[in-house]
Amino acid sequence: MSFRCVTVILLYAVVTNGAKLSPLKRPQIEMERFIHSWAINSHSAVQTLSNGDEGSGTDGNFIEVFQCGGKAPGLYADPDDCTKYYECADGHDIGFHRDCAAGFPAGTQPVFDVVNQICDWPENVPYACGGTRAFTCANLEPGLYSDPDDCHSYFECVPGFDIPFHRACATGWSDGPHPVFDEAAQRCDWPMNVAGSCGTLDSRCVDKAPGNYPVPGSCTKFYKCWPGLTVALEGECPEGTLFHPERMACNWPWAVPAPCGTQ
């Protein structure tokens, strides 16, 4: 999809030359296009045309625009250019095409942030046009979700929006650990209180019955879960013995199944 800046004369020629407009629609469309062309001073503001649509030219040349009919006043992303957006205003069926570069230093490349309705640097925009991984709330319940690329941030999904809000856990500490997001608790907390890859809390005994369990990757080590405790206590089999994963105890190598033993 591409957009053209057209003058009133060219616009009139495209609309009228070979167009199949009904007598009732032609004056309305021509007037809307004239007003928009004058109001936005060379921004594209003409109706979308395609094969078979009323208003398509016989020469195969088409002009494409953004329709605001049925949309609330506001700013909308340009699906083909992250550095531009459309503005829908009261009383206008055709959107005004805007450029994010206006007002920014020369040579910079800001992009449009559809959630915050502003132009910003790509690293601050966490969606398709930004510098962070895209995250969608489609098919998700409202709530808070971990940012897979940053333990200190999270996404907030709210009803009616497929695009999430990108939040950061509170900062301000000059040294020491920074808070990380705990998805299970739906809050930011210190790493020592958070289980999983972002935290340092030992959660191996969560939802496990009391007893001994093998340590992955080791034939001699195990960890013990106690009633009422979520923190595991590690142990190691006596020299010459191996941990039996089914009997949950140490035994002689010939009594332990492969791959650790020879049973």
pLDDT reported for residue 254: 93
In order along its 263 residues, the chain shows pLDDT tens digits of 444 444 333 333 333 333 333 333 334 434 444 434 433 333 333 333 333 232 233 333 444 578 898 888 989 888 888 888 999 998 888 989 998 876 677 766 788 888 778 888 877 775 566 655 577 888 899 999 998 888 888 999 999 888 888 888 876 555 556 888 988 889 998 887 787 778 777 778 878 889 999 988 899 999 888 887 767 788 899 999 999 988 999 999 999 998 998 87
CA nearest to 74, candidates 134, 118, 129: 118
Residue-level pLDDT at 71? 85
What was the pLDDT predicted at 34? 41
Domain borders along the chain are 74-124, 143-193, 211-255
At position 60, the amino acid (one-letter code) is G
pLDDT of residue 102: 64
Which pTM value belongs to this model?
Answer: 0.36
